[in-house]
Chains A and B, each alone.
Chain A
Amino acid sequence: MELFSAREVSKTYASHQALTKVSISVEQGTIFGLLGPNGAGKTTLIRIINQITAPDSGTIWLNGHPLNSDDVYKIGYLPEERGLYKKMKVGEQALYLGQLKGLSRRDAMKELKIWFEKFEITAWWDKKAMELSKGMQQKVQFICSVLHRPSLLIFDEPFSGFDPINADIITREILQMKKEGATIIFSTHNMESVEQLCDHIALIDRSKKILDGATQQIREKYKSNIYDINYRGEFDIQNHEMARKYNILSDHKNGNVNKLSIQYLDGSSSRELIRDLVEHVEIVSFNEVIPSMNEVFIKVVKQNA
């Protein structure tokens, strides 16, 4: 079921085109990765979803109806540029932000207690934000964005400022919320976390969407016939005639098990590669290399340039 969609959304600032007819569709209970280079228009799209700015044309749909002003209560937003009131007590401002998202003071208090205990930060309640480290502040900000149990969550670079342990805690919380049925739009430059978390991605470059699809399918699509092979046996492939037929990326001799990275050229196939190899060596393992999201990202953006 589709929870959220943007349909042909365009936005222009003065002479700068920020978004050109961008459409995305997000299924309920999934994590959607919104990717793109700096200045591509991601933040503009996110701000439009949060009704911080309005699109010039196009519509935003949530839960089967066009976005209206009451929908801010159903959306949780963790912006990339985020902060807290420096001189205000942490508990007070979390309560305030919760109330702005439509919670009553009592409900906000109840939810906050649960979260503060879960993150083991109850001792921070009466501290001023400026007394906390950056990572600590990020934790509080994360709590504030999910406090009102929104059905759509938007995280813009949620892991920046976190050490690996805390990043892991946040990852687990995000996955837990997904399990409970929340839908998440996730924007980041950290492609590892995209591979780990996102079910679906869209790539925006220079105001246009240039790639859209399920994460696994996209990676499959961009694979380039490269195989990692472990083998036993003496074989000098570099000086063999196979070197003309295949593109040999690397060949590490370890004595016992050797590692070969090889790409077959157009017109050939993995079956042919195996057939050619088994004549000379004993194959221990044979793996197709699926490109990382990082590689896909670079490749697609470079092609678009």
Chain B
Amino acid sequence: MHKIILILKREYSTRVQKKSFIVLTLLMPILMASLMILPAYFASMDDKETRTIAVYDGSAIFLGRMESTEFTKFRFIPQDEYNKVKENVKGSKYYALLIINPNFVTTNSVQIISGSNIPYDLKSQIKDKIQSVIEKDKMADVIKQTAIPDLEKRIEATRVRINVETIKVGESGEAKKSSTEIGMVVGYVFGFLIYMFIFIYGGMVMQGVMEEKQSRIVEVIISSVKPFQLMMGKIVGIALVGLTQFAIWVLLGFIILSASRSFYPGASHAQQAQDIMAQNQEIVQQVNPQQVDQMQEVFSLIGTINFPLIICCFFFFFIGGYLLYSSMFAAVGSAIDTQEDAQQFMLPIMLPIILSIMVMMSAIKSPEGPVAFWFSIIPFTSPVVMMARIPFGVPNWQLALSMFLMVITFVGMVWVSSKIYRTGILMYGKKPSWKEIGKWLMYKS
């Protein structure tokens, strides 16, 4: 045990001190944050160019009804100026020329002529304005013809927003409000975290094993420790590197989140409104009460998700899945001499991981279907798929069965891998065949 700790310490400290680790760990949250924040920032930067658009209204419907906004000015021009501008839009003082033909009512189309590309926003702005003018006119016509009082309001009243509440009947028969959307998000996030972790850190285990083999230090080390100790020390040490990285990301995530809240008061508007509501009833009236309602709904729904269970299961499947896969990665790393030889042996390991992320996508949509069920029981895919199912509630026996199989499989896989590893690290030369690797299993230690 003492030796495993020595090995673990080395694996951990050499990796955590690496520049690439520090840079990646610090940059990743910033990168993620900027990926989320930058689009919003750019959107808020909307183009602030003031454009004046000449409008020639042949139909005489729109005159004076196209209201200018802060950056887009509409100027109606008479026929003679229109003729001049039309000949040379580029040379005129206008950004663009909007032509509404006399027969507009029948064609329903207008033209914009400009020397430059019309931004999409501007185009839809003009379109909306024209549409709303026409709609208003038509509505007024209908009201006049039918003479139904308050028709406008009545039509308005036909628009409804439907809110579907989902209620799940638990095993004990009590009805619980649940949220499909929140379940999906939580399931997806946790399943994906496990997937990522297995991929990145399992690969790191393989690299580490290959490094020791290639540098030929491995024989010196296993003259002091058992190959199994070396393998486990490495696997656990690298797991701790990953956990450290996650912990730092979570911490930085919180810091960035709270920092960005102070930047974007809008983002935390509802939250603030809630806080204020408790203290100051008067201000609440200024806040859209519907919005506060929705946020409370979301919070209460998040409350219905069994987080202690999810966290416990997450750690279980996280550790189980990682041990299962990283021991296989270690075995592959030991069997080969160079990176190029890895392909052939990687495929059987990658397939179930990739399959599990694909099944997860369908499992979050239908968490109780047969596909989700079977893949959450089979140990090679269960870490990812089961995590996607848990937020929706999984019967205890299924969870127990899945965990039981997981434990059996990873113990078995660690055993098999350590046998391959033990022989593989001392084998140099040609790439072994599957048959040879099978033989290694039979060797006496």
Interface residues of A (CB under 8 A from B): 13-14, 47, 50-54, 56, 72, 75, 77-79, 81-88, 96-97, 99-101, 141, 144-145
Contact = CB atoms under 8 A, between A and B. Distances in A.
A59 B136 CA distance: 102
Nearest to A102: B224
Given A77-B219, A79-B223, 6 more contacts: A52-B219, A85-B215, A96-B10, A97-B220, A97-B224, A100-B221
Given A50-B223, A97-B224, A100-B224, A85 B217 contact: yes
A105 B363 CA distance: 52
Contacts of B24: none
17 contacts: A50-B223, A52-B222, A53-B444, A53-B445, A54-B445, A56-B444, A77-B220, A77-B223, A78-B220, A79-B223, A81-B428, A82-B219, A84-B217, A85-B212, A97-B220, A100-B3, A100-B6
Contacts of A47: 426
B42 interface: no
B439 interface: yes
Contacts of A97: 220-221, 224
Contacts of B10: 96
A13 B10 CA distance: 33
A82 B220 contact: yes
Contacts of A13: 443
Interface residues of B, number: 23
A145 B225 CA distance: 14
Interface string B275-305: 0000000000000000000000000000000
Interface string B148-162: 000000000000000
B439 A14 contact: yes
B93 interface: no
Interface in B354-411: none
Nearest to A105: B6
B223 A75 contact: yes
The 5 A-B residue pairs whose C-beta atoms are closest, nearest first, are A83-B216, A100-B224, A83-B215, A50-B223, A79-B219
Interface of B: 3, 6-7, 10, 14, 211-212, 215-217, 219-225, 426, 428, 439, 443-445
Nearest to A154: B223
Contacts, number: 64
Main secondary structure of the interface of A (DSSP, over half): loop
A85 B212 CA distance: 7
Contacts of A100: 3, 6-7, 221, 224-225
Q: Which of B6, B14, B445 has the most chain A CB within a 10 Å cutoff?
A: B14
Given A52-B426, A54-B444, A85-B211, A101 B224 contact: yes
Contact of A86 (B215, B223, B443): B215
Nearest to A75: B223
A294 B420 CA distance: 39
A14 B222 CA distance: 22
A87 B217 CA distance: 12
Contacts of B3: 100
Q: Which of B6, B219, B221, B222 has the most chain A CB within a 10 Å cutoff?
A: B219
Contacts of B225: 100
A100 B220 CA distance: 10
Given A14-B439, A54-B445, A81-B428, A72 B220 contact: no
A47 B211 CA distance: 21
Contacts of B428: 81
B205 to A, nearest CB: 16
B6 to A, nearest CB: 6
A86 B213 CA distance: 12
Contacts of A99: 6
A96 B217 contact: no
A101 B445 CA distance: 21
A141 B220 contact: yes
Contacts of B439: 14
Contacts of A52: 219, 222-223, 426
A223 B444 CA distance: 43
A84 to B, nearest CB: 6
Contacts of B426: 47, 52
A100 B439 CA distance: 30
Contacts of A75: 223
Contacts of A82: 216-217, 219-220
Nearest to A97: B220
A144 B426 CA distance: 20
B444 A145 contact: no
A81 B219 contact: yes
Contacts of A85: 14, 211-212, 215, 217
Contacts of B222: 52
A99 to B, nearest CB: 6
Contacts of B217: 82-85
B73 to A, nearest CB: 64
Nearest to A141: B220
Contacts of A96: 6, 10
A87 B220 CA distance: 17
B111 to A, nearest CB: 67
Nearest to A80: B219
A56 B444 CA distance: 8
A78 B223 CA distance: 10
Nearest to A101: B224
A158 to B, nearest CB: 13
Nearest to A89: B14
A236 B14 CA distance: 76
